[in-house]
A = this chain, B = another copy of it.
Amino acid sequence: MKSNLTPLEPKADKATVRRHNLSLVLRAVHDAGEATRAGIATHVGLTRAAVSSLVEQLLEYGFVSEWGKTSSGQAGRPGTVLKVSRSGPAGLGVEINIDYVTVCVVDLAGTDRVRLVEHFDNRGVQPSEVLARAARLTARAIGSAAEQDLVPAGVHVALPGLVTGGTVRQAPNLGWQRVAVEGLFAQALLALRPAHRPLPVSSDNEANAAALAELWFGAGTEGVRSFLYLTGEIGIGGALVLGGELLRGAHGFAGEIGHMVVDPEGPLCRCGARGCLEQYAGQAALLGAAGIDPDAGVQGVAELERRARRGDPAALSAVERAGRQLGVVVSGAVNLFDPDAVMLGGVYRELMDWLAPAVDRELSLRVVSGLWSEGGKRLRASSSLGDAARGAAGVIVREVLADPAACAERDARSSGT
């Protein structure tokens, strides 16, 4: 027999129900920004008494705090305003990319509270060394967070490659194969903080993390729930969000739009195949086509933007050509996946003014539904709030919101109470 057969009203035990409802109340406060006990009761469909007891627990944990009374202008008796705490549990995200590492601490309300960035070229460096560097930056970020009374509940590491089960299966642009990234990172962080409780470490692809940031902090907050996300870096990352959920595929490897094909006989890609989109619209290809050193990194992109802005023909034609090739491939992805929008992040954000017309032209011509020739700004620059480190930190925040009791219990155990 198949297994998706469950009768209505399963008899969950009391502790499980309370745990679930604790999360329900915390998420209600989180999503509303501020709420009263009475408002929460109405919204989540629990009794006022049940909500009050759950709120007491959340206050005790330090996950919500009270902010005075509602004004008398509102209906009913004035209630105490509740908000999620600006101190206490937080999310910590790490983005390890080809030529930089970013660490970001986000509080329960979703605000960036610490952000540290270091630029160095990670190519050709041993994975353990790269992870040790990232751990050092992380330890500094934990220190800065502590000064603001924030305690990361876990670390989520985002990397440019195929990540599954705590392991980078393949990261062609870093040159990594089968690296147990969670274990190595946890070990490196533990070595730096031997007296502290080990933080749980999780990991994912960087474009997935950036797309989640876009969903939680960027376009998602304006109601865009299904989109294709592309980030132009040294490689091209991609991710798919459908109905507010990240689409991971059967093995967690979905979204590799950078290896869709422009020309099967084209230049050799680091993945071993020929003519992948990365070889036409990746950062190095863009810079090279404009006559800039392909390895010039951030400075090179800034230079390309300057040249495009002053109308340099080589720069404009390089960006236009990349836009056309990007547009052809993205049109195919849109025909396949039918999203509401396409978000361009990374270096594409800076080059949007010159890139977008060419991409738009292909979308308008090639998407069979015709929806993309009707205007309506379906092609967008990714929000400045949509970066991978922030999304990674958001993953931890979501975990706390989904099970505040587990987070509190972990803290209690580690402080010996």
Contacts and interface: CB of A to CB of B under 8 A. Distances in A.
A393 to B, nearest CB: 20
6 contacts: A7-B44, A9-B17, A252-B338, A255-B336, A257-B336, A273-B365
Interface stretch (A121-129, A241-249, A286-294): A241-249
B366 A261 contact: yes
A320 to B, nearest CB: 14
Contacts of A195: none
A67 interface: no
A117 interface: no
A276 to B, nearest CB: 8
A254 interface: yes
Given A17-B8, A31-B2, A328-B264, A170 B338 contact: no
Interface string A1-30: 110011111101000110011001001100
A271 B331 CA distance: 13
Given A7-B24, A9-B12, A250 B328 contact: no
Copies in the complex: 2
A257 B12 contact: no
Interface residues of A, number: 71
B249 A242 contact: yes
Nearest to A6: B45
Contact of A335 (B27, B259, B263, B272): B259
A333 interface: yes
A330 to B, nearest CB: 10
Given A250-B339, A273-B365, 17 more contacts: A1-B28, A6-B24, A6-B45, A7-B24, A8-B12, A8-B16, A162-B369, A240-B337, A252-B338, A253-B335, A256-B335, A257-B336, A259-B366, A260-B335, A272-B365, A273-B331, A273-B366
Contacts of A412: none
Given A28-B5, A44-B5, A44-B7, A170 B340 contact: no
